[in-house]
């Protein structure tokens, strides 16, 4: 009789251990899925942050070059006015110098603007719903 009670108690303990193992396995699977989803979301967020930083830097460079071209044009205008006031006719060399610098800056601005608005460089890569975790049996 005592052996039967011991066997029944052992059987109940084994059943409880089995249920505990199944519960722990289910929790581990849920945590693994949660971690993979969180990592994927963080990867997308960091990629979007990198894109934002790149756009911000390009915007700063574009505005600096634009204001540089604007300043050179104003300096050219001042040079022309000073030449008219002082009746100088030998400022062609200085005007040609400013003209070359402005043309170079305009070329830089054109290239920078075309890359700034090129949307192919700013797409966030998706994994098409696939995650890189393996199935746990």
pLDDT tens, residue by residue, 29-59: 888 888 777 777 777 787 888 888 887 887 8
Secondary structure string (H, E, C) spanning the chain: CHHHHHHHHHHHHHHHHHHHHHHHHHHHHHHHHHHHHHHHHHHHHHHHHHHHHHHHHHHHHHHHHHHHHHHHHHHHHHHHHHHHHCCCCCCHHHHHHHHHHHHHHHHHHHHHHHHHCCHHHHCCCCCCCCCCCCCCC
What is the number of structural domains in the chain? 1
Q: Is 131 inside any structural domain?
A: no
Q: Which domain holds residue 32?
A: 2-121
Q: Is 130 inside any structural domain?
A: no
pTM of the predicted structure, to 2 decimals: 0.47
Give the pLDDT of residue 121.
56
């Amino acid at each position: 009789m005592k052996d039967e009670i011991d066997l029944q108690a052992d059987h109940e303990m084994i059943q409880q251990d089995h249920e505990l193992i199944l519960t722990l396995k289910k929790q581990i699977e849920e945590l693994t899925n949660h971690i993979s989803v969180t990592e994927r979301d963080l990867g997308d967020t960091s990629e979007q942050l990198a894109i934002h930083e790149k756009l911000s830097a390009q915007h700063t460079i574009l505005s600096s070059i634009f204001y540089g071209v604007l300043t050179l044009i104003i300096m050219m205008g001042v040079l022309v006015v000073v030449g008219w006031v002082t009746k100088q006719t030998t400022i062609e060399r200085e005007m040609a110098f400013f003209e070359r610098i402005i043309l170079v800056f305009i070329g830089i601005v054109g290239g920078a603007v075309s890359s700034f608005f090129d949307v192919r460089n700013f797409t966030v890569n998706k994994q098409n719903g696939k995650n890189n975790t393996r199935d746990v049996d």
